[in-house]
Amino acid sequence: MSEVVTYNREGNIGVITVDYPPVNALSHSVRSGLVAALEQGQLDSEAKVLLLVCEGRTFIAGADIREFGKPMQEPGLPAVVRHFEDSEKPVIAAIHGTALGGGLETALGCHYRVALSSAKVGLPEVKLGLLPGAGGTQRLPRLTGAQKALEMITSGEFVGAKDALALGIVDAVDEGGDARAAGLVFAQKIADEGKPVRRVRDVTDKIEAEKGSDVFSQFRAGLEKKARGLFSPFKCVDAVEAAFNLPFDEGMKRERELFMECMESPQRAGLVHAFFAEREVSKVKGLSKDTPVRDVKSVGVIGAGTMGGGIAMNFANAGIPATIVEVKQEALDKGLGIIRKNYENSAKKGRITQQQVEERMALINGSLTYDAFRDVDLVIEAVFENMAIKKEIFAKLDGVCKPGAILASNTSTLDIDEIASATKRPEDVVGMHFFSPANVMKLLENVRGTHTSDEVKATVMAVAKKIRKVGVMVGNCHGFVGNRMLHKRGAEAMSLVNEGATPQQVDKVLTDLGYPMGQFAMSDLAGIDVGYRIREERRNAGEDVAPSWMDKLAEQNRLGQKTMAGVYKYEEGSRKPIPDPEVDQLIADFREEQGITPREITDQEILERCMYVMINEGAKILEEGIADRALDIDIVWIYGYGFPAYRGGPMFWADQIGLDTILNAVEKYHDDIGGEQWKPSALLKKLVAEGKTFGKL
């Protein structure tokens, strides 16, 4: 008998228990253990009914993702599920935690399902670039009908136990906290009542009723926008449709073919990389599970602007009180008003209740004095990017805050060590770089200074988790990981337009790659004045910063979305960028002024120059130890800048392209264009020479 799946009998109920921490994933050992335990149950003449339960925090959370890409070892999951469904004795699944993917598919192979009220079920394979490949696309619609099955399978969203009951996915919900006990009670009832097996594959009423309906064509049309660039959601629809057009066994065959297409797609590889990378980033070099973590029960935020307000909302959403300090009452009132409006909008959309609006607002207080920070455990400064002001603020915080309070800056570029030097406690100073809108974007780039203590590093990583962000720990340098790479891309995009490309062409190459918006649409969103101010400051400091057509935009007060005109123009109430002939003219005039003869620029050149310049910078970031691993950079870009997760992040993408291809291009641009940005990274060269990748440094 397998160690991870055991069989025992309680009265006339044969109990099959899976115990494979952390999430009872269906590894080869679990699959073969399930088959063996089921067989034992069949042979046990005292067992009238069989019960499948799991130990630990959850029911089976799906196939073992670590086995993907390796040769399949029998028995495969569809066969395991089939064994359960074929059982002559009724099998009951007792679900706690989450029954996901192959876990739910196994439960659907059982004849009855009982779930704890806290449990959730779902088929999240699509998030890994897959479709449910063990009968989920064939069995779920037999219970729920086409529409709901399509929604669940193409979104991967989980459904709570009560909704699952209403949808017919589970047969009973138990209010207790013990799945084994709930399962035993349910199983005893089935045994006592002599209930027969009930196989989902034989349930056909919904299949018959919806055969030939136009639900599939309608659903596909809706997906075109939602799943732009993605492969597997469309395959999910094909597979569910097969449940309605084909007999069960043929539908299963079709599901398998489509599943294998997804399994072999590069998107699956990218999404699985992103899945593990998201979990790996929480393991920070130098920290361990034993590193002490400070309790953060209250926070202070400096600045009630868009950033400060968004930051405070994150904490209120997690039930942690936040006090915002502003200089003027008017600015404070305005900021608090915007926060309320944001919450009210969420309530209008049904995302939260009106009561939650009030509860969260009650957790956010305003003040005009730093005295309000005397007892807080963490203060996050979110004023504009000016070192002198930040240092003044940190000196003040040092005087006011209690010992042990963490002093954080939301700076997106500035030197954390210099900020920390304004205090007598640099070990408590750290960067916490949120991304706008701060209450929405999932990334939290935590920046360690030279003196930041391990305890403080561990605490800000824990805080990220608490406020449901993905925290990535990075080192201190101008722009850290994300903006340092972004600035290189921005400068290159601007040069491409100088040389002859149009802003639309550049943006299209980036959106075709899968970014939600291109470089220039993003500049319009952030404000053209932001980059302009930085360039002006550098010029004033005596740096040689080339003139740009974007300076002209700023000088004409075309500041982006906020003035309804920037690189693009905008219509009242719309964020859709519209190409503007006036800007084309401005660019043409600029080229003439600079004596530039525009040339045809290919999309390939745009792709290479915008992306490879970032990869080269990413390699330098690794070389300097600013990021510990390439996957940290990948997560920064996926969650901070909308890099398509299905490409796994920029560094993973680079590995797929081939580092030798990238190095060749970088060297070519270094010869043709020159500049520090095209100087090949030593690490990139070393990896190519050694035939290695960023993923296997």
Q: What is the DSSP letter of 177?
A: S
CB neighbours of residue 54 within 10 Å:
27
Q: Cis bond leading into 644, ω under 30°?
A: no
Q: Which of 3, 55, 67, 125 is catalytic?
A: 125
What token pair was written down for 557?
């007060």
HEC states along 74-118? CCCHHHHHHHHHHCCCCEEEEECCEEECHHHHHHHHCCEEEEECC
How far apart are alpha carbons 160 and 95 in whole angstroms? 11
Least CB distance from residue 582 to ligand 3HC, whole Å?
Answer: 49
CA diameter of the chain: 93
- Distance, CA of 237 to CA of 220 (rounded, Å): 7
Q: Is 582 a catalytic residue?
A: no
At a CB cut-off of 8 Å and minimum separation 6, what does 263 contact?
68, 130, 133
The least distance separating ligand 3HC from the CB of residue 252, rounded to whole angstroms, comes to: 12
Tell me whether residue 125 or residue 551 sits nearer to ligand 3HC (CB atom): 125
Strands ordered across the beta sheet of 159-160: 98-100, 120-122, 159-160
Which is closer to ligand 3HC, CB of 73 or CB of 661?
73
In angstroms, rounded to a whole number, what is the distance separating the alpha carbons of residues 655 and 120?
Answer: 36
Closest approach, Cβ 106 to ligand 3HC, in A, equals 9
Residue 38 exposed, middle or buried by CB count within 10 Å (0-12, 13-18, 19+):
buried
Residue type, 347: A
- Say if CB 26 and CB 60 are below 8 A apart: yes
Least distance (Å) from ligand 3HC to the CB of residue 466?
13
Kindly tell me which of 274 and 320 has the beta carbon lying closer to ligand 3HC: 274
105 is catalytic: yes
State the nearest-atom distance from the C-beta of 205 to ligand 3HC, in Å. 25
Closest distance of CB 513 from ligand 3HC, Å? 25
Structure tokens at 363: 């957790």
Distance CA(577)–CA(511), nearest Å, equals: 13
CB of 250 to ligand 3HC, least distance (A): 19
Q: Which two tokens stand for residue 408?
A: 């954080």
Angstrom distances, CA of residue 408 to CA of 65, 158, 322, 394 = 37, 35, 14, 9
Minimum CB separation from ligand 3HC for residue 114, in Å? Answer: 20
- Comparison of 98 and 681: residue with beta carbon closer to ligand 3HC: 98
Question: Would you give the DSSP letter of residue 568?
Answer: S
Instruction: Kindly state the smallest distance separating residue 276's Cβ from ligand 3HC, in Å.
Output: 6
Residue whose CB is less far from ligand 3HC, 260 or 578: 260
Rg, the chain, Cα only: 28
Structure tokens at 322: 């936040």
Footprint of ligand 3HC (CB under 6 A): 22-23, 25, 58, 61-66, 77, 98, 100-102, 105, 124-125, 128, 130, 132-134, 136, 276, 279
| Cβ within 8 Å of residue 268, ≥6 positions away | 68, 128, 129, 130, 232, 262
Which one, 98 or 453, has the nearer CB to ligand 3HC?
A: 98
Catalytic residue (one of 39, 74, 85, 105):
105
Query: How buried is 534 (Cβ within 10 angstroms: 0-12 exposed, 13-18 middle, 19+ buried)?
Result: middle
* Cβ proximity to ligand 3HC, 132 vs 471, nearer residue: 132
Cβ count near 679 (within 10 Å): 13
Secondary element (H or E) of residue 675: none
- Residues in contact with 40: Cβ distance below 8 Å, sequence separation at least 6, in sequence order: 1, 7, 14
Residue closer to ligand 3HC, measured from CB, 41 or 103: 103
| CB 513 within 8 Å of CB 493 | no
- CB nearer to ligand 3HC: give 150 or 190: 150
Q: Pick the closer one to ligand 3HC by CB: 143 or 407.
A: 143
Amino acid at the residue 438 = A
Cβ neighbour number for residue 22 with a 10 Å cutoff: 9
Q: State in angstroms the smallest separation of the CB of 84 from ligand 3HC.
A: 14
Q: Which residues are catalytic?
A: 105, 125
